[in-house]
Amino acid sequence: MDSLKETKKSRLPRFRTVQEEAEFWDTHDTTEFEEEFTETRARFARPLDHILAVRLEAKTLSELARVAERLGIGPSTLVRMWVMEHLRQLGGESESNTPETRTAHPVS
């Protein structure tokens, strides 16, 4: 007998659309498939509840958008990261490893 673990074929169908999957789960219970699920840890960022409006010239905003796009993030996320980075450098914010405090530098 092989020492390799035999993989069972999933009883869950492959869905072609979200609608098809929704219709399936409307008529089935997840407890019917518990042995096929694996436990996963999820981490959610705390919501940011304050907004600061900053006036920028169109040229500056365009440049900011280009840099953010190169980094794969939105312009407001980039600005928030830069603000948090500079606050840390000035000693105004304690170090933490949250998404909003990671360092972001433009890619050349």
Question: pLDDT digits over 25-54, tens only?
Answer: 999 998 988 888 888 888 888 888 888 999
Q: What is the model's pTM?
A: 0.46
Q: What is the pLDDT of residues 70-104, one digit of tens each?
A: 999 999 999 999 999 999 999 864 545 455 445 55
Distance CA 81, CA 78 (A): 5
Distance CA 67, CA 83 (A): 15
Distance CA 71, CA 108 (A): 10
Q: Tokens 């929704």 appear where?
A: 22
Q: Is the pLDDT of residue 13 over 80?
A: yes
